Amino acid sequence: MKVTVTVNGTEVAAELPDRTLLVHFLREQAGLTAANVGCDTSSCGACTVLLDGQSVKSCTLLAAQADGRAVLTLEGLANGQGDLHPVQQAFRDEHGLQCGFCTPGMVMAAVSLLTENPDPTEAEVRTALEGNLCRCTGYHNIVRAVLAAAGERRTR
């Protein structure tokens, strides 16, 4: 089956087996490796991307379901001028990462949250990130990073 997806603003087309997962399409066809395969059961959130602006776990979505749609991955967040997206910068500034495996999914989930709710409370951030697991940080700095990014958005 032929699948065409706009990934980070660039159209990517490929002939794929019907059962190809979106995360494998992104990694193998688009050459974008930020979305990680952590569990294949949608439990960890390491593969989180935005599909038409909505946060999805790409390990449980078929590439065919994204045909004709737009996907934004971590690689597409920065402005291309060397500047990080405000959420990426906040994760860096607030030490919201350690090993980095969950970070792409956490950042994408945070971007989705802040698009829907630009001024979340700490409880709302924690609820929004429930589907993303981190085995290193204990979440404190991740939550702090999302709140810092929200504050940065308010000052712009």
Reading the chain (156 residues) residue by residue, the pLDDT tens digits are 999 999 999 999 999 999 999 999 999 999 999 999 988 788 899 999 999 999 999 999 999 999 999 999 999 998 777 889 999 999 999 999 889 899 999 999 999 999 999 999 999 999 999 999 998 877 999 999 999 999 976 555
pLDDT at residue number 121: 97
Separation CA 26–CA 33 (nearest Å): 7
Separation CA 101–CA 133 (nearest Å): 10
pLDDT at residue number 81: 78
pLDDT at residue number 135: 87
May I ask the CATH class of domain 2-76?
alpha beta
pLDDT at residue number 41: 81
Domain locations in the chain? 2-76, 86-155
The contacts of residue 38 (CB under 8 Å, 6+ apart) are: 44, 45, 46, 47, 59, 101, 102, 105, 133
2-76 and 86-155 share one CATH topology?
no
- Four-way CATH pick for 86-155: 3.40.190.10, 3.40.50.1400, 3.10.290.20, 1.10.150.120: 1.10.150.120
